[in-house]
Each structure stands twice: as structure tokens, then as C-alpha cells.
Amino acid sequence: MASSDFDPEALKKLQARTQQLKIGGAKQPMRRKVAPKPVAALDDKKLQAQLKKLNVQSAGTVEEVNMFTNGTAVLNFQRPTVHAAAGSNVYAIYGRGMHKDLAELMPNVLNQLGPDTMAQLKRFAEQYQASQAAQAGGAEGENKEADDEEVPELVEAAAPAEEGVKLEDIN
């Protein structure tokens, strides 16, 4: 395109605007982008203030934390930061938790459990076996229903003369 296609007045206005917006060059200050503060950091500060009121102390190095939920699910933390206030019965666990199935953690979890939680573990194992059996039974039931759909059912037709009901009587 040639410059003859543009309106000369509009071109001068655009050039004037670009002169005002020029960034950089000699003795020009660098413009910095102001990053917004994350909201999670504010929540974390509030939490830290409340924990400080409870006088929590670091619990040392902890390799793994497992929280058992309803059923067979486990919330697993690898190398979390743990703070504790024993007098207030408050424990804070910082880290990335992952939902895992009890079967995934089974060999390593046994040595972490005490004698009082073995009964709870047995209950979890029974629930897990029951859920596995229900899933397997549900799959077999679906196969039986599919087989039943392929075979038509026999229907006995009663003769109208035997029952004493005539088509004319019904109408």
C-alpha cells in the first residue's frame, strides 16, 4: 500500500500518539509491571497468625502422613511440614496431598499402624473386599442381563373361547 491511500491528517494524529507512547530510549525510566498479590498468601498469613496464637512448634522431619477417610480412600502426604500444639490438640500439615487407594499403600502402611488401629485396618480391608466383590458381581449381573435380552420369553396365549370372554363383550 502506498502512503497515498491514507488520510494525511489521520497519519499525523497517529504519529503524534506514538511519540507520546514511546518507551525506552535515552534517559527513559523502565516501566515495571506491578504483579497482583495472590489471595492464597493472605489466607496463609491469617492461618499462620492463628497458629502462632496457639504456640505451635515444628514436629521435626516427617517422611509421610496418611489420613484415612471413609471407605478405602487415603489422603497421602509425602515429606510434609508438620506443626503441632499438643496442649490444644492442633496439628497443621503443609504439603501436597494425593488421594490414593488403601491397596496402593498397603505394604508400607502396616509398620506405621499401632495395635489400636489394627482393628480399623481390618474394617477397611473388609470394606475394600466388599466393594471389589460388588464391582465384580455388578459386571457379572450385566452379562446375565445381556444374555436374557437375546432370548425372547415364551408367552402362553389363552383361547378366548375357554375363558368365556368374547371380543364383542369387551367392546
pLDDT in tens, the chain (171 residues): 555 677 889 888 888 877 766 566 666 666 677 777 766 666 678 888 888 888 888 888 888 888 877 766 788 889 988 888 888 888 888 888 898 887 787 777 777 665 656 777 777 778 888 888 888 876 555 555 555 566 666 666 655 555 555 555 554
In contact, 62 and 91? CB cutoff 8 Å: no
Give helix then strand counts, H and E, for the chain: 6, 6
> Beta-carbon neighbour count of residue 82 at 10 Å?
17
CATH of domain 45-134: 2.20.70.30
Query: What per-residue confidence (pLDDT) applies to 114?
Result: 58
Q: Say if residues 95 and 62 touch (Cβ distance below 8 Å).
A: no
Predicted pLDDT of residue 54: 87
pLDDT at 69: 76
**Counting beta carbons within 10 angstroms of the beta carbon of residue 46, is it exposed (0 to 12), middle (13 to 18) or buried (19 or more)?**
exposed
| Residue-level pLDDT at 19 | 73
Sign of the C-alpha dihedral, residues 51, 56, 62, 68?
Answer: negative
**CA distances (Å), origin 32, targets 14, 21, 29, 86, 145:** 25, 15, 9, 47, 68
The reported pLDDT for the residue numbered 139 is 56
pLDDT value, residue 68: 76
Q: Which amino acid belongs to residue 119?
A: A
Q: Which uninterrupted H or E stretch holds 119?
A: helix 118-150
- pLDDT confidence of residue 137: 72
d(CA 130, CA 124): 10
Predicted local distance difference test score (pLDDT) of residue 95: 86
Q: Phi/psi at 27 (nearest 5 deg)?
A: 60, 30
At 125 the pLDDT is 76
pLDDT confidence of residue 4: 60
pLDDT, position 140:
57
Per-residue confidence (pLDDT) for residue 34, from 0 to 100: 78
